[in-house]
Amino acid sequence: MKLRAPISTAVAISFGLLVLLGIFIPDLADFRNRILNWAMLLAALALLLGLFNLAQVHWQRVRGREATVYSAALLVTMAITFAVTLLQGSDSANAEWIFNYVVVPIETSLMAVLAISLTLAAARVFQQRTELMNMVFIVTLLLLLVGAGPLFGVELPYFTRVINPYINNVLALGAMRGLLIGVALGTITTGVRILIGADRPYGA
Amino acid sequence: MIPAELLIQAGLLVAAALTLVTLSYIFGDHPVFRFVLHIFIGAAAGYAGAIAVQDVILPQLVFPAIELASGGNVDVVDIGMRVGLSALLLTKLSPRTARFGNPVTAMLVGVGAALAIGGAIQGTLLPQINTSAQIFDVAGFDLALQGGYYGESLQIILQGMLALLAMVSTLAYFHFGAEARGKQAPLRNVLVDVLAWAGSVFIAITLATLFSGVLLSGMGALTERLDFLYSTISALLGMP
């Protein structure tokens, strides 16, 4: 049987094991920190490679006259933001202007749009299917929303002080704990599969 | 040099226009919204890239390499590894040389996997197991019992049992093990099946809790944006 990507597999296993052992063996902590610093540098470089790829794809779209305006807008804003932030610093007036008056408003507005989309989605769930789980979901959601604060200026103390805390601190907390433990077990399994070479998500 | 006051006013106008266009997505997708979305992606990507260069690449790679080249007192092996690994990763820029960067990508994946395992054990699994072990409020139960508040002591026990059932049944919901039955389809244990059903109810409640949290944050964002639009337009029109 021919082993696929033996060098990459050996590198992934050895560096991964060194970092993992460094968590539990204090003598290896220095070496682990050094590897983590290298990994941090490589992650930053990988981010730059990603940006380069993004720019390249949109540059090709501009040259091919395919969705030119959108791609040109992306390239221009990317170049301006990158240059201003790098040359003048992230705390400079111009970089802060871009961040506060371009990035933050769009980001917050997208979050606001999400609220409306979620409300519509919840209404659609309620309309389309009346299964037990949908009913549980919708009833819980309504109880939580009613108890989230005053309704048209009227306080509903039974909802805010009894039902809401009970759902959050007893029913949801227990299940959330189960979900978190499940996610942690899944993460460990995936990590171990990479460290024993069963999964190799790093190219052939 | 543009006066600061003018910059702020221009900024408010730009922010209000971008907010209006983004919020107009509620009525459906349109070209102006897509244009604004591309502006957002470009600005966010450029900002992230500049921060990565400023905070990581310059101080961890470029400056130490310059110091090494100018004969400074630096760790040669460490800097050599940084430069070598970076050079290998940069081979990913071209499809022809990309395979030389695979070992570096593998290193990143291996380190990431190890950190994920360590984080999952130390940051999630152990603390969650520890808190689960204290699911019953023993001190509160003792206090209620000594004070003769039997109703409250019973409530504490019931709440603990319910939280425990929620946790165990949620875990059972994700248990897919089944017994082989010869040529018949494998069947899940009846107890696990019942627990899994209860787990699905608790998961629905938890998802509703998470959903309400996201919905309320979104509502908060919507209120903030509408307030911003109102105050900006009022200021522009000279309204008090």
A79-138 pLDDT, tens digit each: 999 999 999 988 899 999 999 999 999 999 999 999 888 888 888 877 877 788 888 998
Buried b / exposed e along B106-121 (16+ C-beta atoms within 10 A): bbbbbbbbbbbbbbbb
Q: Which of A71, A177, A187, A193 to mutate to test the interface with B (most CBs of B within 10 A)?
A: A177
Distance CA B144, CA B135 (A): 17
Residue A186 lies in a domain: yes
Burial of B99 (0-12, 13-18, 19+ CB in 10 A): middle
Inter-chain touch A101–B129, beta carbons under 8 Å:
no
Q: What is the mean pLDDT of chain A?
A: 89
Q: What are phi and psi of B28, to 5 degrees?
A: 125, 165
Which residues in chain B touch residue A95, judged by CB atoms under 8 angstroms apart?
47, 50
* Cα nearest neighbour of B25 on chain A: A113
Q: Is A57 on the interface with B (CB under 8 A)?
A: no
Q: Is residue A192 part of a domain?
A: yes
* pLDDT of chain B, 240 residues: tens digit per residue: 777 788 888 999 999 999 999 999 988 889 999 999 999 999 999 999 999 999 999 999 999 999 988 888 888 899 999 999 999 999 988 888 888 888 999 999 999 999 999 999 999 999 988 888 887 777 887 888 888 888 888 888 888 888 899 999 999 998 887 777 777 777 888 888 899 999 999 999 999 999 999 999 999 999 999 999 999 888 888 876
CB contact under 8 A, A174 and B125: no
CB contact under 8 A, A45 and B89: yes
Chain A nearest CA to B183, separation (Å): 30
Write out the residue range of the structural domain in which residue B239 sits. 141-240
Cβ contact, residue pair B34, A42, below 8 Å:
no
Indicate whether A4 belongs to any domain.
Answer: no
Q: Please give the DSSP secondary-structure letter assigned to residue A131.
A: -
Residue B235 domain-assigned? Answer: yes
- Total domains in the fold of chain B: 1
Looking at the DSSP assignment, which residues form a beta bridge with residue B187?
B179
Phi, psi of A132, rounded to the nearest 5 degrees: -60, -45
ipTM of the complex: 0.84
A133: in domain: yes
Total number of domains constituting chain A: 1
- How far does B128 lie from chain A, in Å, by closest CA? 7
Which residues in chain B have Cβ-Cβ distances shorter than 8 Å to A36? 111, 115
DSSP B93: G
A151 contacts chain B (CB < 8 A): no
R_g of chain A computed on alpha carbons: 25
Residues 87-106 of A with CB under 8 A from B: 89-90, 93, 95, 97-106
Within-domain flag for A162 = yes
Has residue A138 been placed in a domain? yes
Residue B126: closest CA among chain A residues belongs to which residue? Answer: A181
User: Range of A163's domain?
Assistant: 129-197
